[in-house]
C-alpha cells in the first residue's frame, strides 16, 4: 500500500493538471471578409484609433479599409498609379495611415488622411530598397525596414 500511495498521488496530480490546462484553453473565432477587388493580395493589416482595419492591396494598387462592426469595405487607388504595389502599412496616433509603394516607383512613403481622403507621397532619399514593413511609434514617427538596401530607418513626422 505504501508503494501505491505515491503512484496514486502522482496520477491524481497529473489528471488535475490536465483538467486545469484543458479548462484554461482559449476559445478562438476567426472571421474573414472579402475585399472589393478580386486578386488584390491584401497585405500588412493595421488597426487605426477608430478600430477600422486597414490593408494595402498590393496587386490592385489600392489602400483598403474595413469597418469591422458593419463589414463595409472601401478601397482607394494608390497615388503611384498602376503597378505602384502598395506594401508595408502603419496607422499613426493622429489617425493617418502610412504605407509604402514598392512597384514601378519604389522607395516611396505615402500618407493617407482618412477624414480628408487625401494622399501625400515622399521619396526615400537613399533609394531605401523596397520598404516592406513599418511600425508607428507612440509619438507618430515611423520605423521602416528597407529590404532591398539592407537598411532600417526612421521617418520623422513634423507636427
Provide the 10 A C-beta neighbour count for residue 3.
Answer: 7
Domain 42-155 falls under CATH 2.130.10.10: yes
* C-alpha grid cell, residue 114: 482618412
The pTM (predicted TM-score) of the whole model is 0.80
Q: Tens of pLDDT along 107-156?
A: 789 999 999 999 999 888 766 567 888 999 999 999 998 877 788 889 99
Q: Tens of pLDDT along 73-109?
A: 999 999 998 999 999 999 999 999 999 998 866 678 9
Domain boundaries, the chain: 42-155
* C-alpha grid cell, residue 40: 488584390
- Cα separation, 9 vs 149, in Å, equals 61
pLDDT in the model for residue 118: 97
- 87, 130 contact by CB (below 8 A): yes
If DSSP codes are grouped into helix, strand and coil, which group holds residue 134? Answer: strand
Amino acid at each position: 500500500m505504501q508503494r501505491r500511495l505515491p503512484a496514486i498521488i502522482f496520477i491524481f496530480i497529473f489528471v488535475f493538471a490536465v483538467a486545469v490546462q484543458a479548462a484554461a484553453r482559449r476559445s478562438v473565432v476567426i472571421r474573414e471578409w472579402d475585399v472589393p477587388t478580386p486578386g488584390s493580395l491584401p497585405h500588412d493589416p493595421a488597426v487605426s484609433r477608430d478600430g477600422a482595419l486597414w490593408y494595402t492591396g498590393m496587386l490592385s494598387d489600392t489602400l483598403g479599409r474595413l469597418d469591422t462592426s458593419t463589414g463595409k469595405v472601401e478601397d482607394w487607388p494608390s497615388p503611384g498609379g498602376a503597378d505602384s504595389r502598395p506594401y508595408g502599412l502603419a496607422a499613426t496616433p493622429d489617425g493617418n495611415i502610412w504605407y509604402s509603394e514598392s512597384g514601378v516607383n519604389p522607395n516611396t512613403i505615402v500618407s493617407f488622411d482618412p477624414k480628408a481622403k487625401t494622399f501625400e507621397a515622399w521619396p526615400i532619399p537613399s533609394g531605401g530598397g523596397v520598404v516592406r514593413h513599418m511600425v508607428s511609434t507612440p509619438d507618430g514617427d515611423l520605423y521602416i525596414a528597407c529590404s532591398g538596401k539592407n537598411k532600417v530607418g526612421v521617418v520623422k513626422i513634423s507636427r
